Each structure stands twice: as C-alpha cells, then as structure tokens.
Amino acid sequence: MAAPLSSARRERGHYLPADVVQDAQARLSRLVGHVRAVGRMLAERRDCADLLMQLMAVLAGLTQVTVRLTQAHVEACLSMVRTPEDHKRAIARLEAALAVAVGQGHAPHLTHSLKAGRMRPMP
C-alpha cells in the first residue's frame, strides 16, 4: 500500500509514488513508439487487419497504465482516511477518478467540483 505523503505533496494533488510514476512513464514511452510504428504502417499502406491489431495492442497498453494509476490512487486515498469526513471525501474522489477511468467522466468535471467546493483535497 502507498505510504502517506507529505502535506505539501497532498496539497498539490500528487498521490503517485515514484515507482508508479517511473513505470507509467516507461509504459507510455513504449506506447509512443508503438503509435509511431502504426503511423508508419499506415504510410506503407499495410493491411487493415494488421493495423487494427496493432491499435488494439496500443489500447491494451493504455488500459494497463490506467489500471495501475487507478490502483495507486485508490491506495493513496484509502491510506489517508482517518475520520468519517475523510472517508466521505475519499469516496467522492474515488468515484470521480473511477468515472474518468471508465470513460463516464472527464477531468474538467473534477476541477470544477474541486473549485465549487463539492470535493475538497484530502487533508
């Protein structure tokens, strides 16, 4: 489970441990290369079935990154729960993050909710 972070880092909203960030960056770098390769395949007028297979592999890679980041976020939120109010805020943050992760929400909604006071950063 993720260790609690310093209050300075929590205030900025960074909940990702260094190992998770490094793993995500490495995976995303590989995916960038993969997407470029698909672009070359398009330019070479490669078979559509091959292109689709490669695009599905890219999507699977993005899904893996999304799952790992979501897991780290859940661990961070739960590790900070100390009071019933913390619990409510953690649930709201998790629901919002999961909505984004499964495509039912979007980041501007999270920003708007934080600014409107419906969601507050964890203490």
**pLDDT tens digit sequence for 56-98:** 999 999 999 988 998 898 888 888 888 888 888 888 888 888 8
Whether 7 maps to a domain, the answer reads no
Q: Is the pLDDT of residue 13 over 80?
A: no
Q: Is the pLDDT of residue 40 over 60?
A: yes
Q: Are residues 68 and 23 in the same domain?
A: yes
Whether 57 maps to a domain, the answer reads yes
Whether 6 maps to a domain, the answer reads no
Residues 6+ apart with CB under 8 A from 110: 96, 97, 100, 119
Q: Is the pLDDT of residue 12 over 80?
A: no
Confidence at residue 4, expressed as pLDDT on a 0 to 100 scale: 47
What is the extent of the structural domain holding 45? 15-79
Contact at 8 Å (CB) between 93 and 76? Answer: no
Confidence at residue 95, expressed as pLDDT on a 0 to 100 scale: 85
